[in-house]
Amino acid sequence: MTDHAIFHRPLGAAVPPGHDQAIFGMGCYWGVERLFWQQNGVWLTEVGFAGGTVQNPTYDQVKRGDTGHAEVVRIIYDSSLISYDHLLQLFWENHDPTQGNRQGNDIGSQYRSLIMVFNDSQRAAAEASRTDYGNRLAVNGHGAITTEIIEAAPFWPAHEAHQQYLHKNPDGYCGLKGTGVEASIPNPDPT
């Protein structure tokens, strides 16, 4: 099994005790993964695909839009160091959740805005933050949020060359861009 290029832990690792996981889709996954691996308290990041109908899809299948999957990042984090609310704040502020099946020039359902939840607590936090951020966007002249919030589905890792891509290719493509509207999250850190 391949190790994470930054954390030197095995990709596909199980969630260790005292840790939680999150899955977010925010467009092209390269920049999204870098955003999260830079956060204190994040233990592992991994890019892949989720939310579709094909088992173990390839990048080319997902890129063509044949599978229903979104490009996502799986995040394992130490919840004593970084809260799920803080991860949600990063999610909302670093992409445009109003664009439907696209992010900027990346067009297709594989680039949709997506939150996969693992429990009722995550669902409640995600839904409350979506409502709050939607109101903030409306006040600032943006359209309605199109972000899906769904139960966690199987995560299919992307091939090794795409893992930590922007660490291996510092000048690589990153389409990550927010709306400029700040999110107000009730408990950004678990203090």
Query: Both tokens of residue 158?
Result: 């992307």
Q: Is 26 exposed, middle or buried (0-12, 13-18, 19+ CB in 10 A)?
A: buried
What percentage of residues in the chain have a pLDDT greater than 90?
A: 90
In a domain, 107, yes or no: yes
Counting the structural domains of the chain, the total is: 1
- pLDDT value for 186: 66
What percentage of residues in the chain have a pLDDT greater than 70?
A: 96
In a domain, 156, yes or no: yes
Catalytic: 174? no
Kindly indicate the confidence band of residue 1, based on its pLDDT and cuts at 50, 70 and 90: low
In a domain, 189, yes or no: no
Q: Give the whole-angstrom CA distance, residue 111 versus residue 69.
A: 9
pTM over the 0.85 mark: yes
Kindly indicate the confidence band of residue 68, based on its pLDDT and cuts at 50, 70 and 90: very high
In a domain, 87, yes or no: yes
In a domain, 8, yes or no: no
Residue 133's domain spans which residues? Answer: 19-168
Q: Tell me, what CATH number does 52's domain have?
A: 3.30.1060.10
33-58 tens-digit pLDDT: 999 999 999 999 999 999 999 999 99
**CA nearest to 158, candidates 12, 39, 21:** 12
Phi, psi of 116 (to 5 degrees): -105, 130
In a domain, 177, yes or no: no
In a domain, 145, yes or no: yes
99-142 tens-digit pLDDT: 999 998 899 999 999 999 999 999 999 999 999 999 999 999 99
- pLDDT value for 117: 98
- pLDDT value for 38: 97
In a domain, 180, yes or no: no
Query: Both tokens of residue 153?
Result: 């589905």
Catalytic pick among 23, 26, 28, 76: 28
Q: Which ranges in the chain belong to alpha helices (H)?
A: 29-37, 59-64, 84-93, 120-139, 165-168
Residue 153 has pLDDT above 80, yes or no: yes
- Across the range 159-182, mean pLDDT stands at 94
